[in-house]
Amino acid sequence: MNHNKHWITPDWPAPANIHAATTLRTGGVSVTPYDSLNPATHVGDDEDCVRENRQRIKTMLALPSEPVWLEQTHSNLVINAGQATTLQQADASVSDQAGVVCAVLTADCLPLLICSTDGQQIAAIHAGWKGLLAGIITNTINVLATTEVLVWLGPAIGAACFEVGAEVREVFVAKSAVFASAFTQTNTNKYLADIYQLARIELATLGIHAVYGGEFCTVTDQARFYSYRRDTQTGRLATLIWRT
């Protein structure tokens, strides 16, 4: 990765016509606590700053169009980004059209990017534990109607930082016993959850094993990443995918 840049490029063997990135917190105009490249309108940041940041992201990544932003609600709703004319409530978007930019915003939740191996289909997913539990990944794969895909797991809260109550583990294990391996007990009622592992397990149940990324921690890498758990009031990272 080039540390002079204000974004990360996924390290995955995607087809040449697939383009993707996660923006970092640097390179924008927003002031503390949103410093500095915050593209989210829903976190209390100055609207003019957000507009300028979005323009900078579009310019620096040479995006073919305005990203299709979502109103994310930790649901399992998937939309077709190319058909969205207004801001849609959804936590994933897909497209088979060239020039459409699928995008999600995160600050500890897991951003997943998907592309079909033939380079025709793309998807971006926002997956917190609630979305994962509700089946956001499975729903997205069902909409794509293929498991011949590559998946990249973008910057999320690391396994050493994501403490959850016993009830979170219980609902996952009730869904499927295979999820138990993603939880490590720390004391009577607390567990460390590996959100990357939760996603990998879900993908594996779908027969998807070409999964890349997942080596980041938004909480501990304060210089590069926004983290809701660390800072509460903060900006968001944009994770984007498009095809030519």
Tell me the per-residue pLDDT of 95-147, one tens digit each, with 9 for 90 and over.
Answer: 999 999 999 999 999 999 999 999 999 999 999 999 999 999 999 999 999 99
How would residue 1 be classed by pLDDT, with cut points 50, 70 and 90?
Answer: very low
For residue 110, the cross-strand partners are 127
What global pTM score does this model have? 0.96
| Residues 215-238 pLDDT 10s | 999 999 999 999 999 999 999 999
Task: Set out the domains of the chain in order of their start, with CATH numbers.
Answer: 7-157+207-243 (3.60.140.10)
- The CA-atom distances, in angstroms, between 154 and each of 151, 217, 239 are 10, 10, 8
